[in-house]
Amino acid sequence: MVLRALADDAGKGTRLARVAETTGLGKTTVLRLLKALIEVGYVEFDDKTKLYSLGYDLFLLGQSARRVHIIELARAGLGRLAAQTGDTVFLSVREGNMARCIDRCTGSYPIRSLTLSVGDQRPLGVGAGSLALLAFESDAEISLIIAANKPERSAFERFGDADLRTMINAARQQGHTWNDGRIVSAMNAVGVPVLYADKRVAAALSVAAIQERMQPTRRQMIVDLLRQEAAHLGGLLDEARRTGSTATTDSSKEAAECPH
C-alpha cells in the first residue's frame, strides 16, 4: 500500500501526511514502514524537501523481473529462429540510454557471430538490436537519447549522431535495422522491434551472421522470420499484461533450449 501510494506521485515525491491519507494508516505506522523501506533501498527520502519517493533499488528489482519474464516468453522463439536461420539470435531490452543483451541462441552454422554475450551493454543505437530499440521510439525521445549517450558512443566511430540519424530513417522506412559491419567488419546483422499493441517498444530481436550469409535475398528471408517472431512475442507480452500471468504455452509446451 505504501509503495503504491508513492508510485501514484512518481517523479514528484510525496509527504508523509499524503501517504498516510492515501493508505488509511496512521502516521506513526507509515513512518515506521517508510524507514524500513528506506533501509532496503526501495524508498528514498529528501532531507531538504521532506519528500519520499520510490528508490532506485526498487526500479532495479522491477527491471530484473521484467527481464526474466521476457526471456521466458521469448526463449522458444529464439530457438525457432536459430534453427531456421542457422545463425546467432539475440534478445535485447532497453535500460535507460543503453541496450542490454538478455538472451542469445546460436544456430548450427559453424562460423558463429558471437559479438554480444548475455549481459553485455551497448549504447542505444549501436548494433542491429540496439538500433531497433531506438529507431521506433518517438522523435523527441530519440533526440534525448542521442544527446545523452553520445559519450558512450564515442568508442564506436561509425555511430556518430549523423550516422545514427541516417540509420534510424532507413530503419523506419524498411521496418527493420541493418548493421553492415559497422562494429565487426566481417559480421552483418538485422534487427526488428518487439512492440506492444499500443506500439511501445518492449524489446528487440536480431540475427547476426558473416557477411556472405547476409546477401539481399537471404537477408530478407531472415527479416521476415524476425518479424513473425516479434509479432508473436508482442502478442504474448500483451496477453501477459492483460491476464497478469508470467507463464505461457510457449515456455511450457515448446522446446525452450537453443538447438545448438
- Write the pLDDT tens digit of every residue in 175-220: 999 999 999 999 999 999 999 999 999 999 999 999 999 999 999 9
| Dist. CA 202–CA 233, nearest whole Å | 10
Task: Answer yes or no: same fold for 2-54 and 62-253.
Answer: no
By percentage, how much of the chain surpasses pLDDT 90?
Answer: 65
Question: What are 203's three cell numbers?
Answer: 524489446
| Dist. CA 81–CA 15, nearest whole Å | 50
Residue 165: pLDDT above 70?
yes
Q: Which helix (H) or strand (E) holds 90?
A: strand 88-95
Angle between helix 139-148 and helix 161-174 axes, rounded to 10 deg: 150
CATH code of the domain occupying 62-253: 3.30.450.40
> What integer pLDDT is reported at residue 242 of this predicted model?
86
| Dist. CA 251–CA 247, nearest whole Å | 7
Please indicate whether residue 136 or residue 2 has the higher confidence score (pLDDT).
136
- Write the pLDDT tens digit of every residue in 50-70: 898 877 666 556 666 666 689
Residue 131: pLDDT above 60?
yes
pTM score, two decimals? 0.75
Residue 3 pLDDT level (bands cut at 50, 70, 90): confident
Residue 230 pLDDT level (bands cut at 50, 70, 90): very high
Residue 159: how many other CB atoms lie within 10 Å: 25
CATH code of the domain occupying 2-54: 1.10.10.10
| Domain residue spans of the chain | 2-54, 62-253
